[in-house]
Amino acid sequence: MAEQLSPGKTTEQVCTFLFKKPGRKGATGRRKRPICRRESGDSNSSSDEGSTVVRPEKKRATHNPMIQKTRGSGKQKAAYDDLSSEEEEGENEPESLGVVYKSTRSAKPVGPEDMGATAVYELDTEKERDAQAIFERSQKIQEELRGKEDDKIYRGINNYQKYMKPKDTSMGNASSGMVRKGPIRAPEHLRATVRWDYQPDICKDYKETGFCGFGDSCKFLHDRSDYKHGWQIERELDEGRYGVYEDENYEVGSDEEEIPFKCFICRQTFRNPVVTKCRHYFCESCALQHFRTTPRCYVCDQQTNGVFNPAKELIAKLEKHRAAEQGGASDFPEDPDEGPIPIT
C-alpha cells in the first residue's frame, strides 16, 4: 500500500493495521483495545512501532453482601512469610534438649506415706453440701431455736422453725443418713459396683424349642433349665419350704388310688357323678340337695359357688374298672337290689 504525504508537513504518520481475531462469546462485555496510537515529536522512531503498553483500569469495589472473601491483610502476610522463613532455617539446625531437676535427697517414695491406702474418693457431692450435711445443720438450728420466740430471721428453706418434734423414724428426724429417707451419703473408702440382672441373657428360642438358628455363633446362653426368681426364693424362705424336696412330687400314682367308688353323701354307687372345684366327687342329686342347705363342700367345707362339672375322668375310670371285673365287658350286670345306674 502506498503512503500519502501532505505537502505542508514533514512528519510522517504511522498507522498500525491489526487483523481482527474471532472473539469469544463471553468476551462481549470487555473493554476493546485501541487500534491506533498517534504520537508527535522527535522522540518517535521506527523501533517503537511494535511496543505498546496497556494498563488495565481497576474497577471500583462495591460492597456486596452476597460475596464473601477470606483474605488476610498485608501485615499478616508479611508476618507469615517471616515465620515460615525462620522455621526453614530452624529445621536445618540440630535440636537441643536440656533437662534440669533437683533431687529431694530422700529415699521415701513420692506420694503419701501410706501409699494411698487411706485416700478419700469424693466423686459425689462434697460433704459440706450434701443432703446429710444440710440435715445435720437443720437439726442443730432446731435445737437452738427450741423454746424461743420467732426472731423473724430467714435461715433458709430447710431451716424453718418446727414447733412439734417429729418421731425418730426414717420419715422423721433420724440423725443417721443410712436410715433416713432421702439421698444417702456414699462410703468414702469402699466402692462397690453392683449390677442387678433382671433380664438374664438366655436364648429364648433354644430354651423353648431346643433349636437356635444362629447355632454356636449365638451370643445368648443356650440353656433349657428353669431358674427361680429372687422373689420366689424369698417367699420359700419365709414359708420355710426352701431346700425341702417333697418325695411325693416325683412319685407316679396309679389310677386306682384316686378313684372314689362311693358317694360321700349317700354312701352309694355314683349316679351321674359331678366334681367340684376342690376335686371332690358326688352324685348329681346329692350335690344339688346339699347345695340347698349350704353352698360349701360337704367334705372340705370350701366355697363351691354352685359350680358342679361332669366328672368325665371318674366316669372313664369306673367303666375301665367294671370292664376289668367282667372280663372285658363294657356294661355292668344289673343288680337285683338296685335299679340301673345311668352314666352320662
Q: Which CATH architecture has domain 260-325?
A: 2-Layer Sandwich (3.30)
Helix, strand, coil content of the chain in percent (nearest 5)? 25, 5, 70
pLDDT band (50, 70, 90) for residue 336: very low
Please write the tens of the pLDDT for every residue from 229-250.
788 888 888 888 887 766 555 5
pLDDT band (50, 70, 90) for residue 111: confident
Q: Where are the domains of the chain?
A: 124-186, 197-245, 260-325
**Grid cell digits, residue 304:** 363351691
pLDDT band (50, 70, 90) for residue 206: very high
Query: Between 167 and 68, where is the model more confident?
Result: 68
For the segment 108-127, the average pLDDT, to the nearest whole number, is: 78
Name the pTM for this structure.
Answer: 0.25
- Asked whether residue 279 carries a pLDDT value surpassing 60, the answer given is yes
CA of 238: how far to CAs of 10, 211, 227, in Å? 137, 38, 19
For the segment 146-173, the average pLDDT, to the nearest whole number, is: 77
Predicted pLDDT of residue 139: 85
**Which of 284, 272, 274 is closest to 343 using CA atoms?**
272
Between CA 212 and CA 203 the distance in angstroms is 8
For all residues of the chain together, what is the average pLDDT?
73
Residue 170, CB-side half-sphere exposure with 13 Å CA sphere: 7
Amino acid occupying residue 18: L
- Asked whether residue 1 carries a pLDDT value surpassing 50, the answer given is no
- Residue 169 neighbours by CB distance under 10 Å: 11
Between CA 175 and CA 140 the distance in angstroms is 11
pLDDT band (50, 70, 90) for residue 214: very high
**Grid cell digits, residue 139:** 437439726
